[in-house]
A and B are shown apart, each in its own frame.
Chain A
Amino acid sequence: MMTPSDVIELLKQNHASSVLSAVAEGPYPHAVIKAEGLTTVAAFLKTQPRLRFDLLRCISAIDWPAKNNIELAYDLISTSLGHAFAVKVVLDRADPRVESVSTVWPAAEWHEREAFDLMGVEFLHHPDLRRILMPEDWPGHPLRKDYQDIVEYRGLKFNP
């Protein structure tokens, strides 16, 4: 069972170039990773014998128009060792694209589809990137802060 600071220590030892920043104390200990190095860090987090983060709990996409970026938070936990950690990736709001981690954690497939559907983040090399909650031909990405709701969909009008 490792504390968050131990995890960050281990991460920095092995992937110092990918770690941009880290928070060990507080309600949400996490490390911010470079988007390019995400899959290697993910594989490391899953396979390292002292870490073994095998359960990907959640991929949350957070839209920060003020900072002009979209953050992706990957929440992880280890079913064998019992410790939890989170990894964040910061993407450019105009063109948010990052490598898919579905090869490391197959659970990511649907979470990434949801992030694509509701936030517009594009995941490279995803096996099947389509909308999951909204209809296939829905315009726009609803959870963005600047999303304008449409007035008519396939002949059905919405009365505001």
Chain B
Amino acid sequence: MKEIELQYRHPPDLLHDGEIPSDIRTEELVLNMGPQHPSTHGVLRVVLQTDGELVLKATPYMGYLHRCAEKIAEKVSYRQFTPYTDRLDYLAAMNNNLGFALAVEKLGGIETPPRADYLRVIFAELNRIASHLMATGSYGLDMGAFTPLIYCFREREWVMDLFEAASGARLTYSYITIGGVREDVPPGWVGRCREFLDYFEPKITEYNNLLSFNHIFINRTGNVGICPPELAVAYGLTGPCVRGSGIPWDLRKATPYCRYDEFDFDIPVGRGENGAVGDCWDRYFVRVQEMVQSVRIIRQALDKLVEGPVQAKVPRMVKLPAGEVYCEVENPRGQLGFHLVSDGGTSPYRLKIRGPSFCNLSVLPVLAPNCLLADIAALLGSIDIVMGEVDR
């Protein structure tokens, strides 16, 4: 194999921008937190310029999981693209499906039946629970607490069993399709879902006692990576990252979609209980509290579930009128947006996917300086990225 010379053109000031007093001669280390690393949550490469344990500069490089989803969207039909949306943020596949379906329905003027809407809400919130379980569990793992991860995975298994009973798949469902959901839930599913919710709610208190209020965990994550509210909004952060900085911004309340305005739930925000507002602990705890709110929403949705069809009458080959639309949904990680441009054909003319993790990650080079090396793992874990939607 031919020798491959890597000649990346680094940003112009990577190696010369450290804040070192001129009279001290210290050795700076350029450290590569490579694409393969246990705590980068996927294939992300971060080049760290460190002075001992202090990080002076962090530059993320991405694109290792770029699968050209947007180019593929121009070639396949609308229905065929739904499985591709699963794989964007593969931990919250239901929400991705929902965003794409809403975008297509908004442009095509398709009305979904009420049962489909309530089922969509139930599955989106269940997936929010599963995604946050994964986020909080793996955050514990990054901090060295191995046990909460396994407990969170144990609860995820039950959510995935519910999903498997309804859609047939455990991770990438393609369940929420254009016009509604693909098929109705099997008989007895609603009872099992209620059982799961009754079982799961006390577990959150257990995990709080084990991890969230653990003194060591608070010392690791409190006052680390503080993101002031103005910075958060300026850098386009959404989801638990911006709510952790104290801003009560949630798309489900601000621009409700899919009958979310019929439900009664709170928006947890970071209050700086264990450090400054907007530190890693706040972002993490917002996720934990969002799980409680999701359980609330699912209970209300199960009560409101009406009988009826679960699919609107949509032709097999979906053809949208010419035009464009930008539709966003509140994913567990932030706002997932689909900018859909149609020229009247059977496949999108241009589909731009706004991945929340892509925008959330842009704040890493700003928050990383003056962190310790161990805090980079805390920072990345609290921003909670999934490379599938960073790279698409």
Q: Which A positions have Cβ atoms within 8 angstroms of B?
A: 26-28, 54-58, 60-63, 73, 75, 77, 79, 82, 84, 86, 105-107, 109-111, 114, 118, 128, 130-137, 142-143, 154-155
Q: Specify which chain B residues have a CB less than 8 angstroms from the CB of A54 in the assembled complex.
A: 233-234
Return the 10 tightest CB-CB contacts between A and B, nearest first. Answer: A107-B236, A60-B352, A58-B354, A155-B2, A27-B325, A133-B63, A60-B339, A79-B249, A110-B362, A133-B66
Q: Name the one of A75, A111, A130 contacting B9, with C-beta atoms under 8 angstroms.
A: A130
Q: Specify which chain A residues have a CB less than 8 angstroms from the CB of B247 in the assembled complex.
A: 79
Closest residue of chain A to B106 (Cβ to Cβ) is A27
The yes or no answer to B68 lying at the interface (CB within 8 A) is yes
- Given the known inter-chain contacts A73-B339, A82-B255, A84-B255, please indicate yes or no for A28 contacting B62, CB distance below 8 A: no
Q: Specify which chain B residues have a CB less than 8 angstroms from the CB of A63 in the assembled complex.
A: 350
The yes or no answer to B337 lying at the interface (CB within 8 A) is yes
How far apart sit A100 and B354, CA to CA, in the bound complex (Å)? 19
A55:B236 contact, CB within 8 angstroms: yes
- Given the known inter-chain contacts A133-B391, A134-B63, A143-B71, please indicate yes or no for A28 contacting B234, CB distance below 8 A: no
The yes or no answer to B258 lying at the interface (CB within 8 A) is no
Q: Name the one of A26, A107, A118, A137 contacting B362, with C-beta atoms under 8 angstroms.
A: A107
| 15 A-B pairs (CB sep. < 8 Å) | A27-B107, A54-B233, A57-B337, A57-B354, A58-B337, A62-B350, A73-B339, A77-B255, A105-B234, A110-B358, A110-B361, A128-B11, A132-B62, A133-B63, A134-B63
Closest CB-CB distance, A100 to chain B, in whole Å?
A: 14
How far apart sit A112 and B233, CA to CA, in the bound complex (Å)? 17
A82:B9 contact, CB within 8 angstroms: no
Closest residue of chain B to A88 (Cβ to Cβ) is B324
A28:B326 contact, CB within 8 angstroms: yes
Taking CB atoms and an 8 Å cut-off, the chain B residues in 1-30 that contact chain A are 1-2, 4, 7-9, 11-12
Closest CB-CB distance, B256 to chain A, in whole Å?
A: 11
Closest CB-CB distance, B123 to chain A, in whole Å?
A: 24
Closest CB-CB distance, B71 to chain A, in whole Å?
A: 6
How far apart sit A132 and B390, CA to CA, in the bound complex (Å)? 10
B63:A132 contact, CB within 8 angstroms: yes
- Given the known inter-chain contacts A57-B335, A130-B11, A132-B62, please indicate yes or no for A26 contacting B323, CB distance below 8 A: yes
The yes or no answer to B235 lying at the interface (CB within 8 A) is yes
- Given the known inter-chain contacts A60-B352, A82-B254, please indicate yes or no for A107 contacting B1, CB distance below 8 A: no
Closest CB-CB distance, B246 to chain A, in whole Å?
A: 11
The yes or no answer to B279 lying at the interface (CB within 8 A) is no
Q: Specify which chain A residues have a CB less than 8 angstroms from the CB of B234 in the assembled complex.
A: 54, 105-107
How far apart sit A11 and B226, CA to CA, in the bound complex (Å)? 36
A107:B325 contact, CB within 8 angstroms: no
Closest CB-CB distance, A18 to chain B, in whole Å?
A: 21
Closest residue of chain A to B366 (Cβ to Cβ) is A106
- Given the known inter-chain contacts A79-B247, A154-B4, please indicate yes or no for A55 contacting B71, CB distance below 8 A: no
Identify whether the interface residues of A are mostly helix, strand, loop, or mixed: loop
Closest CB-CB distance, B173 to chain A, in whole Å?
A: 25
Q: Name the one of B4, B12, B323, B352 contacting A155, with C-beta atoms under 8 angstroms.
A: B4
Q: Name the one of B11, B326, B391 contacting A73, with C-beta atoms under 8 angstroms.
A: B326
A133:B62 contact, CB within 8 angstroms: yes
The yes or no answer to B70 lying at the interface (CB within 8 A) is yes
Q: Specify which chain B residues have a CB less than 8 angstroms from the CB of A110 in the assembled complex.
A: 358-359, 361-362
Closest CB-CB distance, A73 to chain B, in whole Å?
A: 6
How far apart sit A77 and B233, CA to CA, in the bound complex (Å)? 11
Q: Specify which chain A residues have a CB less than 8 angstroms from the CB of B88 in the assembled complex.
A: none
Closest residue of chain A to B109 (Cβ to Cβ) is A27
Name 9 extra pairs, CB < 8 A, besides A28-B325, A58-B354. A60-B339, A79-B242, A105-B234, A110-B361, A132-B62, A133-B63, A136-B9, A143-B350, A154-B2
Closest residue of chain B to A86 (Cβ to Cβ) is B326
The yes or no answer to B301 lying at the interface (CB within 8 A) is no
Closest CB-CB distance, B373 to chain A, in whole Å?
A: 24
Closest residue of chain A to B352 (Cβ to Cβ) is A60
Taking CB atoms and an 8 Å cut-off, the chain B residues in 228-277 that contact chain A are 233-236, 238, 242, 247, 249, 254-255
Taking CB atoms and an 8 Å cut-off, the chain B residues in 65-81 that contact chain A are 66, 68, 70-71
The yes or no answer to B328 lying at the interface (CB within 8 A) is yes
How far apart sit A86 and B340, CA to CA, in the bound complex (Å)? 14
The yes or no answer to B341 lying at the interface (CB within 8 A) is yes
Taking CB atoms and an 8 Å cut-off, the chain B residues in 47-85 that contact chain A are 62-63, 66, 68, 70-71
Closest CB-CB distance, B113 to chain A, in whole Å?
A: 21
A105:B325 contact, CB within 8 angstroms: no
